[in-house]
Structure 1
Amino acid sequence: MYRLYNFPLSGNCYKVRLLLAQLGTPFECVDINIVQQETRLPAFLQKNPTGKVPVLEIAPENYLVESNSILLYLSEGTDFLPIDRLERTEVTQWLFFEQYSLGANLSRPRFWISVTQQAEQFAPIIAYHQGLGNVALEVLEQQLKTRSFLVAERYTIADTAVFAYTHVAEQGGYDMSQFPAIQAWIKRVQAQPNFISIV
């Protein structure tokens, strides 16, 4: 059985839990408290030297890291990852966009505002990330105005990855009312079989 080292409030961990649930794959969760820096302990660093979650143990002492890499591994040979070469590449494009443009700028304000409740202390950097995050959300909004899902007009791991932090963006101070296409897409993702909530 897979073992997932996981921080429950993390969108990156959530996307892995969500896909595992949608695949019907049994797994064990081992919660790691990143606020208390448990990812910096020697025992954890042996699993992932970067000191980050999620970490998926697929066999004894065999670990996968980086959430979107884990999604690619788990979805191989399933309907969540297209067979067509171009469509697979489009999925990969969204995975990169999610990590570098969207998730990076949605997750940090949410962490400081809602997880650690340090909004005042980090106000300038929160505003900086919110500016970049709104640009990324507008890119997503424009894409979703003309399609139901991000790739191949069906639900794939591109949607899983992008959904993880987008659906909780308001917890990072984002006004999602200005993105109606995203809001409609969020509902479509939540309507998928075997959907689970972040907490």
Structure 2
Amino acid sequence: MTIYGNAISGNCHKVKFVCDRLGIPYRWVEVDLSKGETRTSAFLAMNPAGQVPTVMFDDGRPLAQSNAIMQYLAEGSDLIPTDAFDRALMNQWLFWEQYSHETAIAVRRYYAHILKKPDGEIDPSLIEKGKRALGVMEGHLAARQYFVGEKLTLADLALVAYTRLSHEAGFDLAEFPAVKDWVRRIERDLGLNS
């Protein structure tokens, strides 16, 4: 299996987290977004949307979208709850991550940290939206260790990818102590360095 990804992308980190946690072997191909490498005819033949991560399996089948890739790779593992309702809760958080979390925190990180734009050139609503997302997480984590049930699931892996980098977007996790503790817990569970 080959992962076409970019090392600065939290969405790409999510796929790597699953592979590393489950011991799934892979080859990483770094894709330089700034050079238009997702817009080549070869890349678009794998993923017409021209996005990373994209996985190419050894049998020639491609798969895109980080959360879809994660679910496929983790099928039958302890990262996906066996209880149907808990699986639905996990999916609830996976959808929320892409719609409400990533669209603020990852987008602001891209402008502030990657493109190095000054605050005055970045949509100010991204801070409010990101703080609202972190506030939702704070409330949910106030009485629990993980997002679903009592153990690590794909919901945690998806949400930690950009949350652990939120300082690069201008967010201070000291304002969200339950989230900050959760990030450290998930990083420990995954064997990541802070």
* Shorter-chain TM-score tier: over 0.9
Q: Which amino acid aligns with 1:149?
A: Y
How far apart, CA to CA, are the structure 2 residues paired with 1:72 and 1:167?
21
Displacement of 1:151 after TM fit? 0.3
Which residue does the alignment assign to 1:183? 180
Which residue does the alignment assign to 2:191? 195
SS at match of 2:35: coil
Q: Which amino acid aligns with 2:10?
A: G
After TM superposition, the structure 1 = structure 2 runs for residues 7-86 of structure 1, keeping only pairs within 5 Å, are 7-86=6-85
Which residue does the alignment assign to 1:141? 138
Displacement of 1:61 after TM fit? 2.6
CA contact (8 A) 1:18 1:196 kept: no
Displacement of 1:120 after TM fit? 5.1
Is 1:159 the counterpart of 2:147? The answer is no
How far apart, CA to CA, are the structure 1 residues paired with 2:39 and 2:111?
19
Pair 162,133 (structure 1): closer, same or farther in 2 beyond 3 Å: same
How far apart, CA to CA, are the structure 2 residues paired with 1:120 and 1:151?
35
Q: Which amino acid aligns with 1:12?
A: N
Please list every run of 5 or more consecutive structure 2 residues that lacks an aligned counterpart in the other structure.
Answer: none
Which segments of structure 1 move beyond 2 Å, counting only runs of 4 or more?
118-123, 194-198
Deviates more, 1:33-42 or 1:46-55: 33-42
After TM superposition, the structure 1 = structure 2 runs for residues 109-128 of structure 1, keeping only pairs within 5 Å, are 109-119=108-118, 122-123=121-122, 125=123, 127-128=124-125
Displacement of 1:153 after TM fit? 1.3
Which residue does the alignment assign to 1:93? 92
Q: Which amino acid aligns with 1:39?
A: T
CA contact (8 A) 1:16 1:67 kept: yes
Pair 149,120 (structure 1): closer, same or farther in 2 beyond 3 Å: closer
TM-score (norm 2): 0.95
Q: Which amino acid aligns with 2:52?
A: V
Determine which structure has greater relative contact order: mean sequence separation of CA pairs < 8 Å that are 6+ residues apart, divided by chain length.
Answer: 1
Displacement of 1:195 after TM fit? 2.6
SS at match of 1:26: coil
Cα deviations by residue, 1:11-44 (Å, 9 ceiling, x for unpaired): 0000100110000111000000112221111111
Cα deviations by residue, 1:52-96 (Å, 9 ceiling, x for unpaired): 000011234311100000111011100000111000000000000
Pair 13,44 (structure 1): closer, same or farther in 2 beyond 3 Å: same
Please list every run of 5 or more consecutive structure 1 residues that lacks an aligned counterpart in the other structure.
Answer: none
TM-score (norm 1): 0.93
**What percentage of aligned pairs have identical amino acids?**
34
Displacement of 1:116 after TM fit? 1.9
Q: How many residues align?
A: 194
